[in-house]
């Protein structure tokens, strides 16, 4: 059996970014930039006032050149959004100006209205005022030629003000990968209000996949529960392949049981099995295949925690690469208690990261690690990674953590 790292490498070697498309900003949230965004303009586009007040030339208020109190005739009033270019400020005068309005040529400072007095059309100052105050220079925020956002960056609300300020309404983006999800298992019941017959259980992994997949960077097109027979699996596969899903994910039927048909069905349809089983716990029977048309298939093991682990540890990095993003870095946290595990394989433990009194990340391994036990997932916000070869990890050591969903940092 191959190691976790080798298994991940096999998967990542198959992942290349999906073709990009041009899309409107409002539709581009959560998609990934396919190119650097370079400013072609300056922002702000013109020098403008940061305050409601009066634009003036500070030198006109200097003590040696001005009587006390200082009186400046108000020569113009400049609102934000004015159609007219402000007139040159005549020496010895001031211009009434609003926040965001263009600063007139000849002025070098804006004094806030609350620091002034006014007598009809005369501005009265008790003291000289400094130059270069409250003027936002043209291009102070962004300059032409400046890279403002990078290829591979996920478009979040944080980018929106910048992209709007540049007047960029459309972008080349890599669309979010699309997935189809097939739950195998004759014992599964989808209707959560239906009573269970003996040996039935509710399908928990299908709804789990549907709820977490968007946070892992993909959209679920549809999902179906297909029982334990090849016929309904084949029919679901045909439906999936007729659509434009980028990846098909199944759960269950990848181990060695009598009804574990996924591998055989894939082989019968001409798929190449690239990976089946890895030295990981949970999730050991993980399967990854390339379908005849070049699309990819993940067979996640059926135990619900194994499904969750396979999705986060193997599928999520693949989806991330399909959308043109860089691999996520692992997070390190200090382990709170010594925990033993098996050195034969890499363990992914249900864990919780908290913040210590001195602000450090501390990791706790939760009790109830068996792969059928979903209740501990309620307290879980991370997978704690114990690499193959590790006998135990002592309290106080740093451990690798894979947060439950990727952190946008
Ligand atoms: N003889 C062996 N038996 C098993 C081995 C092994 O190496 N030798 N490996 C075990 C491991 S590890 C895992 S993980 C499971 C994976 O098996 P399958 O992928 O074939 O999954 P199933 O048998 O279909 O289901 C396993 C388990 O999970 C429950 N299940 C399945 N789907 C769902 C769902 N959508 N929601 C909730 N629960 C689900 C199912 O009822 C089973 O209890 O194999 C071990 N066996
Ligand atoms: O490896 Mo299985 O995925 O432990 O339950």
| Interface confidence (ipTM) of the complex | 0.98
Grade residue 84 by pLDDT with cuts at 50, 70 and 90. Answer: confident
Residue 409 has pLDDT above 80, yes or no: no
Of the listed ligands, the closest to the CA of 1 is 1
Are 103 and 52 a contacting pair, CB within 8 Å?
A: no
* pLDDT tens profile 219-264: 999 999 998 989 999 999 999 999 999 999 999 999 988 888 999 9
Ligand 2, closest atom to CA 280?
1
Does the beta carbon of 346 lie inside 6 Å of ligand 2? no
Residue of 301, 347, 388 to test ligand 2 pocket, by largest number of atoms within 8 Å of CB: 301
Does the beta carbon of 282 lie inside 6 Å of ligand 2? yes
Closest protein CA for atom 4 of ligand 2: 282
Grade residue 40 by pLDDT with cuts at 50, 70 and 90. Answer: very high
Does the beta carbon of 225 lie inside 6 Å of ligand 1? no
Ligand 1, closest atom to CA 302?
21
What pLDDT sits at residue 266? 97
What pLDDT sits at residue 125? 95
Does the beta carbon of 260 lie inside 6 Å of ligand 1? yes
For residues 27, 28, 31 and 35, what is the CA-based torsion angle, rounded to 10 degrees?
150
Q: Which domains does the chain have, with CATH numbers?
A: 4-18+175-322 (3.40.980.10), 21-43+140-174 (3.90.105.10), 48-136 (2.170.190.11), 331-403 (2.40.340.10)
For the segment 132-137, the average pLDDT, to the nearest whole number, is 97
What pLDDT sits at residue 64? 67
Grade residue 360 by pLDDT with cuts at 50, 70 and 90. Answer: very high
What pLDDT sits at residue 325? 94
Grade residue 398 by pLDDT with cuts at 50, 70 and 90. Answer: very high
Confidence (pTM): 0.90
For the segment 342-371, the average pLDDT, to the nearest whole number, is 95
Residue 136 has pLDDT above 90, yes or no: yes
Does the beta carbon of 284 lie inside 6 Å of ligand 1? yes
Higher-confidence residue: 259 or 81?
81
Percent pLDDT > 90 in the chain is 90
Closest protein CA for atom 20 of ligand 1: 253
Of the listed ligands, the closest to the CA of 185 is 1
What pLDDT sits at residue 263? 97
* pLDDT tens profile 105-117: 999 999 999 999 9
For the segment 129-157, the average pLDDT, to the nearest whole number, is 96
What pLDDT sits at residue 65? 62
What pLDDT sits at residue 258? 84
> What spacing in Å lies between the alpha carbon of 185 and ligand 1's midpoint?
9
Percent pLDDT > 70 in the chain is 99
């Amino acid at each position: 059996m191959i190691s976790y790292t080798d298994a991940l490498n096999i998967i990542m070697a198959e992942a290349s970014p999906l073709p990009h498309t041009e899309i409107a900003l409002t539709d581009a949230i959560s998609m990934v930039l396919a190119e650097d965004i370079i400013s072609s303009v300056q922002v702000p586009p013109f020098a403008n006032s940061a305050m409601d007040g009066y634009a003036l030339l500070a030198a006109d208020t200097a003590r040696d050149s001005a009587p006390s109190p200082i009186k400046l005739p108000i020569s113009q009033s400049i609102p934000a959004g004015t159609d007219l270019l402000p007139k040159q400020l005549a020496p010895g005068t001031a211009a009434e100006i609003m926040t965001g309005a263009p600063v007139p040529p000849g002025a070098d400072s804006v004094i806030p209205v609350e620091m002034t007095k006014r007598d009809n059309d005369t501005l009265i100052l008790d003291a000289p005022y400094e130059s270069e105050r409250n003027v936002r220079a043209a291009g102070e925020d962004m300059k032409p030629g400046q890279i403002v956002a990078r290829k591979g960056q996920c478009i979040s609300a944080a980018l929106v003000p910048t992209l709007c300020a540049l007047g960029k309404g459309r972008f080349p983006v890599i669309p979010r990968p699309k997935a189809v999800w097939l739950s195998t298992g004759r014992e599964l019941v989808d209707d959560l209000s239906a009573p269970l017959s003996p040996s039935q259980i509710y399908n928990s992994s299908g709804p789990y996949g549907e709820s977490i997949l968007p946070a892992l960077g993909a959209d679920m097109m549809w999902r179906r529960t297909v029982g334990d027979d090849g016929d309904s699996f084949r029919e679901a596969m045909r439906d999936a392949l007729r659509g434009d899903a980028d990846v098909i994910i199944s759960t269950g039927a990848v181990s060695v049981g009598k009804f574990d048909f996924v591998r055989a069905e894939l082989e019968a349809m001409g798929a190449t099995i690239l990976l089946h089983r890895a030295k990981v716990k949970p999730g050991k029977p993980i399967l990854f295949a390339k379908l005849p048309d070049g699309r990819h298939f993940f067979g996640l093991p059926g135990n619900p925690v194994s499904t969750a682990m396979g999705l986060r540890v193997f599928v999520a990095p693949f989806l991330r690469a399909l959308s043109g993003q860089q691999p996520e870095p692992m997070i390190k946290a200090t382990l709170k208690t010594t925990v033993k595990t098996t050195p034969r394989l890499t363990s992914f433990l249900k864990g919780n990261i908290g913040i210590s009194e001195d602000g450090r990340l501390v990791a706790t391994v939760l009790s109830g690690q068996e792969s059928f036990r979903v209740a501990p997932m309620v307290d879980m916000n991370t997978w704690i990674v114990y690499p193959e070869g590790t006998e135990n990890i002592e309290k106080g050591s740093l451990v690798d953590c894979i947060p439950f969903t990727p952190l946008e940092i």
